[in-house]
Amino acid sequence: MTSSKPEDFAADLAALRDDVTKLTASVSEFIRKQTAAASNTVFDAADSARQKVSDTAGKAQHVVAGASRDLETTIEQNPLSAVFIAMVAGLFIGIFGGSLSRR
- Determine, yes or no, domain membership for 3: no
In a domain, 2, yes or no: no
Residue 13 has pLDDT above 80, yes or no: yes
Domain count, the chain: 1
Instruction: Identify the pLDDT of residue 9.
Output: 85
30 falls within a domain = yes
Higher pLDDT, residue 82 or 29: 29
Burial classification of residue 7, based on how many CB atoms lie within 10 Å of its CB (0-12 exposed, 13-18 middle, 19 or more buried): exposed
Quote the pTM value.
0.47
* Mean pLDDT across 14-35: 94
pLDDT at residue 95 is higher than 90: no
d(CA 40, CA 86): 54
C-alpha–C-alpha distance, residues 25 and 74, integer Å: 73
CB 75 within 8 Å of CB 82:
yes
Q: Is the pLDDT of residue 30 over 80?
A: yes
Domain assignment of residue 1, yes or no: no
**What is the reported pLDDT for 1?**
44
Give per-residue pLDDT as tens, 35-80: 999 999 999 999 999 999 999 999 999 999 999 998 889 888 988 9
Give the C-alpha separation, 72 to 66, whole Å.
Answer: 10
Residue numbers of the domain that contains 87: 8-101
DSSP 103: -
Is the pLDDT at 98 greater than 60, yes or no?
yes
> What's at 95, amino acid-wise?
I
To the nearest 10°, the Cα dihedral for 91, 93, 95, 101? -160
- Say if 88 falls within a structural domain: yes
